Amino acid sequence: MNWSESVSLVIRFIAVPYGYTLAIWSAGMLAVGRYGHPRGREVLLFVTGAILGYLSFDLLALGTGATVANGRALPNTALFNVLPLLPPIAVALLAREIKHRALGFFAMGLGATVVYVASMALVVRLTA
């Protein structure tokens, strides 16, 4: 395997987690900016929201067999990873509407996860 093939392989492996990291980090920063520095409870609520967002899609996909092992690869268009821009925009709009601190942290984690997973799944669906 030559250098450019090695880089291509690494980029394909990290595209989705890299994008999600940017999305969830941005949502966390927006939550801190809106609601202040979180206490332990708010951190747990943020993480719980993110986990519930993930699990909702995991349950939706349960039994579909859509794995990398079945020969599907991430489409090249998904590597043009502008999707991390969507969750911060969505959760910034959400934060404007939620005044309650605890609910805000929960909603920001949930919102960032749902928007990122849904937008990435849409790109894969449309381009695969």
**Tens-digit pLDDT profile for residues 100-115:** 999 999 999 999 999 9
Angstrom distance (rounded) from CA 111 to CA 27 = 8
pLDDT tens column, 24-53: 999 999 999 999 999 999 999 999 999 999
Q: What is the pLDDT of residue 69?
A: 43
Residue 124's identity, in one-letter code, is V
End-to-end CA distance of the chain: 25
Domain housing 43: 3-127
116, 78 Cβ separation under 8 angstroms: no
CA angle 33, 36, 38 (to 5 degrees): 115
pLDDT tens column, 54-99: 899 888 877 665 555 455 666 666 666 677 888 989 999 999 999 9
DSSP-derived 3-state class of residue 82 = coil
Q: Is the pTM of this model over 0.75?
A: yes
Domain count, the chain: 1
